[in-house]
Structure 1
Amino acid sequence: MTETRTEWTADDVAARFAEAAETAHKLPRVRPGGYFNPWMTLAFQVPERYPDPERLYRPMPPSPQAVQRMLEVSRWVLWLEVEQRHLVWMRSNRYRWEQIGRRFACGARTAQRRYDAAIHLVTLHLNKGR
């Protein structure tokens, strides 16, 4: 499943986490099955509705390769402790360091160091199999 690489770097791992977070946001929302409202589909067929600037447009769905890479990253998360997982995903979702520090009751610089340590741990695990 892992790409054939010579060696992973911390920047590669961080970029892969960021890509996984973007892919997760592009996936369709999970809704309960069995509920369907045909009036909404009829309302969206009116041509005047399409260029509406107030309407939120959904991004294009991710490619199967992007979903596969996201699932691979979700397996990497198992190597981290729970707090490290939250930290890495918050940063991958582009939270500011101050917000992350507030969440973990530490300074922004301490949050950066903990993030670097978590990314380094994942990098070591990935390079260990080589």
Structure 2
Amino acid sequence: MITPREIEDRFEEAALTLKRLPNPPDSGARGYGRSWPDYVYEAKHAYGYEQATMRVIPNAREIQRMEEALEWLALIGGVSEQHAADNRRIVWMRAEGHRWQTICRHVGCVRSTAWRRWTAALVTIANRLNRQRKSSARPHSTKTTGDAAGAKARGEAAKEPP
């Protein structure tokens, strides 16, 4: 059974994974830009004298878990489409680690309302995922009636008239 706390942790993990994905500068569409590399104005920048940085790129499992968590955002509903979008924005901004003050400014509600909508969204996701797991874990039994079906189940050939 999935709890809202596990959902919250998964969204935080997804936000961190999305942040760690490689997105080098100028990786978008080029347009009418130039194809030459940037000019180096100082010698200390040309030979790598600045501090080296290390970037940890997420593996395939982390990316798959991130995509699964992003699909969970579609499970969040609301009274209207705008209300549902605001609820999704609250959940994702909280996963990214934004403060409640910033979230309230973007969504346009007070802190208690934002917290209540965030909690309700996490509970909704947990309930729907648990319902999906319960329905997929339920064994599908086939009902058989009659002698022919019982004979086939025991391995005997059913006698049918020619």
TM-score by length of 2: 0.63
TM-score by length of 1: 0.77
Consecutive unaligned residues in structure 1, runs of 5 or more: 1-6
Q: Establish whether residue 8 from structure 1 lines up as the match of residue 2 from structure 2.
A: yes
Q: Establish whether residue 79 from structure 1 lines up as the match of residue 80 from structure 2.
A: no
Q: Give the whole-Å Cα distance in 2 for the aligned partners of 1:45 and 1:126.
A: 53
In structure 2, what is the equivalent of residue 22 of structure 1?
A: 16
Number of equivalent positions: 118
| CA separation of 1:37 and 1:104: change in aligned 2, threshold 3 A | same
**Deviation of the 1:109 alpha carbon:** 1.7
Aligned ranges 1:107-126 → 2 under 5 Å = 107-126=110-129
Consecutive unaligned residues in structure 2, runs of 5 or more: 77-83, 135-162
**Deviation of the 1:24 alpha carbon:** 0.6
Q: Establish whether residue 105 from structure 1 lines up as the match of residue 108 from structure 2.
A: yes
- Where in structure 1 do 4 or more consecutive aligned residues deviate above 3 Å? 33-40
Secondary structure at 1:48 match in 2: coil
In structure 2, what is the equivalent of residue 90 of structure 1?
A: 93
In structure 2, what is the equivalent of residue 3 of structure 1?
A: none
Same amino acid, percent of matched pairs: 31
In structure 1, what is the equivalent of residue 28 of structure 2?
A: 31
**Deviation of the 1:59 alpha carbon:** 2.6
| CA separation of 1:103 and 1:39: change in aligned 2, threshold 3 A | closer
Letter in 2 for 1:75: E
Secondary structure at 2:49 match in 1: helix
Q: Give the whole-Å Cα distance in 2 for the aligned partners of 1:33 and 1:66.
A: 29
**Deviation of the 1:93 alpha carbon:** 0.8
User: Which one has a bigger Cα radius of gyration?
Assistant: 2
Select the structure with the greater relative contact order (CA < 8 A; seq sep ≥ 6): 1
